[in-house]
Structure 1
């Protein structure tokens, strides 16, 4: 069994075990106590690279022992009562002033329904670039619209904007959440954004977000490039085969990534995934970090997937 799968399995067993003990009131675990220790996983990745360069059994044992010791320390630390209420510490300096407060006494944040759109015109039939950014948000994309873009927002915190820039050859849409100062209660939940796009243009979609969730059905659209840069996120996308070549680029920290591709398209995956778990059903491994579908060479439609992640779960399946 591969080392990355073993280490990922140990981490999942740790998290699941802690949650189970909490549910049965065996322990009281303060997740905010261990949040600040996230850089230790970078150290574990470095140990894995140093001691497992030649895939030796001794290197595997050292990497696993370091991980188990680390999780043991976090298990002990997580049961200590927190010294402060903030998840990120009292001395955090940031442009975004967010206070995670789980008191029931605070006033609840009212949800605001917003709608953004851009009309479809003759120039819109060309290439369109869509840039999306925002944290603490659940994004979905399903269905078409007669407009160029339609975004329905269930807004609890932050200010959303949609802007457009046009050139002779393309249009660029930018949808983003502006920085917001104020309290964010743990009970408030996040923002929800439901996109609908026009079916005619050739789309390039770029997403940049911290924590959040993305569920995009891209199969009806002409997608030239989909790029995702995220931190602790859940990404679930379904690709189509309406263009000869499609690029999918995913860079994450700690994330759950699921990508569905059509069986009629040839697909190549190039990975740089550290301690991440990989499940590429129906792919053949060519070399370290490179995988292809059996029909890749002869297919007229090709999808190139580039995956780069630290401690994530990557799944690519065919439909």
Structure 2
């Protein structure tokens, strides 16, 4: 009996030990379970990485091609080959990136599929780039002696969406306003190309415009107060803010040159040539975004001072050699040149005086703020 009792006690002890050991075994089992989950997750991750590796490779190639394309377009913009208005046309093709993603999924995961997607992306980007170039520079076909099928030209014309080409003329006649002692002229040309010349004619202002139906026509506002004639010219709102790629052109003729005139020019991404050699300029303010403007003044038209603000654009000022000038400037990462001399370094505020500034009675003070653009002053 005692033997049996001992046996039962031993079994009881084993069971008790098993109970205690069971607690330890639970922790061990939990650790083993966590380890197996971690290993399974790692194997699953490796498997998925292998499966999506071709997508990653081809996706990286497509992304690299896209960056190269964007960089080339910016280079063409900054060198003046293509206007900044090309981006309004390029924006129309953003759904093509969804198409490229769909093609990438359809063709599979092989290396050959990745190469196929890359080739397709190159062809798409080349086609879009050339269509955009053709839309903003219609002479590219003749300049490069390129023969294109008519269906391709029709596609470019349809995607351009600017509508019919229109023309308009307007004149502010001398008989419309009497006893004009001074005049303000404000030109806000945006993306347009324009010219302005002063001539010995009676009318205060005349312009002829060529623009496209869906771009919006010009608007000239006239007011007369206290013997001052105010003329404000502005490009009307576009019918749509996206997809307009062809710039309008405006040619202005300023008459009544005996009337002292103040000028305010705002040039967005357009370009203009202004020749003021006869009219007396009272005040002058020029604001250039990403466009370009050339201004020629004479000893008869030179004001006592004026201000220039340049963002990413370019402004060329031509002064007579008889005029001395003082330039108060602030430049970011752009440049300021007087003739062939670069007088401004990055992030510099300073004052520059022409060699003849202290030797002549005809002087002008210029205040200039240049961001990443360029200011160039020439004398003739």
Any runs of at least 4 consecutive aligned residues in structure 1 with deviations exceeding 6 A, and if so which? 32-35, 282-285
Measure the CA separation in 2 of the matches of 1:228 and 1:302: 19
Larger Rg: 2
5 Å-filtered alignment, 1:75-90, equals 85=93
SS of the aligned residue for 1:232 comes to coil
Identify which of 194, 213, 223 aligns with 2:251.
194
Gaps of 5+ in 2: 1-64, 75-89, 96-128, 133-154
Contact 1:151–1:194, Cα closer than 8 Å, also in 2 = yes
CA distance 1:282–1:270, change in 2 (3 Å): farther
Secondary structure class of the residue paired with 1:190 = coil
Q: 1:203 aligns with which of 261, 265, 287?
A: 261
The equivalent residue for 1:128 is 183
Distance 1:282 1:302, change over 3 A: farther
TM-score under structure 2 length normalisation: 0.55
* Structure 1 residue 248 displacement after superposition: 2.9
Q: Counterpart of 1:236 in 2: which secondary structure?
A: strand
User: Unaligned stretches of 5+ in structure 1?
Assistant: 1-25, 36-81, 88-99
Q: CA deviation at 1:123?
A: 3.9
* C-alpha distance after superposition, 1:240-267 (max 9, x if no partner): 2225743331112101111001111121
Please state how far the C-alpha of 1:209 moved relative to its aligned partner.
Answer: 3.2
CA contact (8 A) 2:309 2:369 kept: yes
Residue 178 of structure 1 is matched in structure 2 by 236
Tell me if structure 2 keeps the 8 A contact 1:205–1:227: yes
**1:148 corresponds to which of 198, 204, 223:** 204
Asked if 2 retains the 8 angstrom alpha-carbon contact of 1:129 and 1:205, the reply is: yes
Deviation of 1:83 after TM superposition, in Å, equals 10
So what's the TM-score if we normalise by structure 1?
A: 0.64
| Structure with more strand by fraction | 1
- CA contact 2:277–2:301 (8 Å) conserved in 1: no
Counterpart of 1:9?
none
User: What do the CA deviations read for 1:175-228 (whole angstroms, capped 9, x no partner)?
Assistant: 111211237656x52010101001221111102232110110112221122211
Structure 1 SS opposite 2:174: coil
Q: Secondary structure at the match of 1:30?
A: helix
Relative distance call for 1:246 and 1:117 in structure 2 (3 A) is farther
Instruction: Name 1:30's counterpart in structure 2.
Output: 69
Q: Which structure carries more relative contact order (alpha carbon 8 Å, separation 6+)?
A: 1
The answer to whether structure 1 residue 280 and structure 2 residue 338 are counterparts is yes
What displacement does 1:108 show?
Answer: 5.5
Q: CA deviation at 1:281?
A: 3.0
Greater percentage in helix: 2
Distance 2:222 2:162 in 1: 34
Instruction: From the superposition, tell whether residues 225 and 149 of structure 1 become closer, same or farther in structure 2 (CA, over 3 Å).
Output: same
Q: 1:196 to 1:115 in 2, by over 3 A?
A: same
Partner of 1:309: 370
Q: Whole-Å Cα distance in 1 between the matches of residues 252 and 310 of structure 2?
A: 22
Shift of 1:282: 8.8
Q: 1:274 to 1:141 in 2, by over 3 A?
A: same
Residue 306 of structure 1: CA displacement?
1.4
Residue 137 (str. 1) matches residue 192 (str. 2): yes
Pair 1:185–1:84, CA change in 2 (3 A): closer
Change in Cα spacing, 1:29 to 1:282, as seen in structure 2 (3 Å) is closer
In structure 2, how many angstroms separate the alpha carbons of the residues matched to 1:314 and 1:132?
A: 20
Name the CA shift for 1:231/1:239 in 2 (closer, same or farther; >3 Å).
same
- 8 Å contact from structure 1 (residues 245, 301) kept in 2: no
Equivalent residue runs for 1:48-127 within 5 Å: 85=93, 102=132, 104=156, 105-106=158-159, 109-121=163-175, 123=178, 125-127=180-182
Query: 2: CA distance between counterparts of 1:256 and 1:243?
Result: 22
